[in-house]
Amino acid sequence: MNEKPDLGALFGATNADTFFGLEKCDDFDAIDASSAFIGAPCATPYGSVGAYAQNGPSSLRKAIASLTANIDRHNFDLGGPTFPKGTKRAVDCGDLSWSETDFASNRQVIRQCISKIVARDVVPILIGGDDSVPIPMIDALADTGESYTILQIDAHIDWRDSHMGETHGLSSTMRRASEMKHIEKIIQIGARGIGSGHSDDFEDAKNWGVKFFTGFDVYRTGLTPVIQEIDIDSKIILCIDIDALDPAITPNTIGRTPGGLSYYQVLELILAAADRGHIAAVDFVEIMPEMDIDGIGGLNVSRLVAATMGIIARQQAKI
């Protein structure tokens, strides 16, 4: 047999151009959902590599297409259907428009979209795109007048002040966030190996007050100390760079680094954020299907996104 069997055919999946076969939403001003899948192919890329993760959002829609007929089935990671009775479903807002040359405009498009969605009490799930995409998302939350904790799950700390002359690129995300008045706490989990960060950047972050739990810390002590650091009733921005996960399960990324988190460890952190606090916004970034191996990364990331939608649906319905 040369052709691989099709799981979607086994389940009766239909062709869907949205994530998980969710309803499409084109009007941010009228959006009515628990959360919203928003594709952001590009914000502020470095000139040397360009918009290398632009196919991330479409790759996740494709990766979960086999389950479009199963959206109401039991998800054993959640203890029920993804969207149980009494909850609102998520929607898919498609991909935001973007330019390869006008980065300020890319950031403005993301910022405006997030500001409108959160004003309607919908939790954005921004799908990148490289790790510069969250900067305007985090900035947009200033419009609510609330204060936030960032839970950043990433192999890299992203505290460069500038890299290759760019201050809003993917290596500066947490430093830019730290400069925003509405960000009161940052917890960073999963840093490991060698990235673009310098020891000075790490010192600056610690001096700001960042609570760090490295990949090695999680390996040695588990997640309990991390979860205890999440303040009760805090409003949380979840910044998930998929290179936080082990490259064995998310090879679909440019920054593969040995020693990453497992699927369940990341899921437990997302559950803990909703359990102790309130998830206000989410991003999943650095998704690069060209790097994937037999669809393994798309599988793991798309299922984590779907589980996140289920966790947020329960949070929004207070069940």
How many residues touch Mn ion (CB under 5 A)? Answer: 6
What is the distance between the alpha carbons of residues 269 and 293, in angstroms, rounded to a whole number?
Answer: 26
Site stretch for Mn ion (CB under 5 A), options 33-41, 136-144, 181-189, 242-250: 242-250
Q: Are 127 and 96 in contact (CB under 8 A)?
A: no
The residue (of 8 and 57) whose beta carbon lies closer to Mn ion is 57
The residue (of 155 and 245) whose beta carbon lies closer to Mn ion is 155
Q: Does 283 sit near Mn ion (CB under 5 A)?
A: no
Q: Are 43 and 112 in contact (CB under 8 A)?
A: no
| 180-219 binders of Mn ion (CB under 5 A) | none
Q: Which residues contact 252 (CB under 8 A, 6 or more apart)?
A: 59, 242, 287, 288, 289, 291, 292, 293, 296, 297, 298, 301
The residue (of 195 and 277) whose beta carbon lies closer to Mn ion is 195
Q: Are 296 and 28 in contact (CB under 8 A)?
A: no
Nearest alpha-carbon partner for 94 in 21, 15, 19: 19
Q: Does 243 sit near Mn ion (CB under 5 A)?
A: yes
- The least CB distance from residue 154 to Mn ion, in Å, is 4
Copy the structure tokens of residue 43: 């914000």
Q: Which 8-state DSSP code applies to residue 84?
A: -
The residue (of 111 and 156) whose beta carbon lies closer to Mn ion is 156
- The least CB distance from residue 169 to Mn ion, in Å, is 12
The residue (of 190 and 277) whose beta carbon lies closer to Mn ion is 190
Nearest alpha-carbon partner for 190 in 137, 153, 226: 153
- The least CB distance from residue 44 to Mn ion, in Å, is 15
- The least CB distance from residue 170 to Mn ion, in Å, is 7
What is the distance between the alpha carbons of residues 311 and 278, in angstroms, rounded to a whole number?
Answer: 11
Supply the DSSP string of 254-316, one letter for each residue: TT--SS-B-HHHHHHHHHHHHHHSEEEEEEEE---GGG-STTHHHHHHHHHHHHHHHHHHHHH
Site stretch for Mn ion (CB under 5 A), options 74-82, 116-124, 199-207, 253-261: 253-261
- The least CB distance from residue 148 to Mn ion, in Å, is 20
Taking CB under 5 A as the criterion, the residue among 241, 246, 283, 292 binding Mn ion is 241
The residue (of 92 and 241) whose beta carbon lies closer to Mn ion is 241
The residue (of 96 and 245) whose beta carbon lies closer to Mn ion is 245
| 135-174 binders of Mn ion (CB under 5 A) | 154-156
Q: Name the residues that contact Mn ion, by CB under 5 A.
A: 154-156, 241, 243, 255
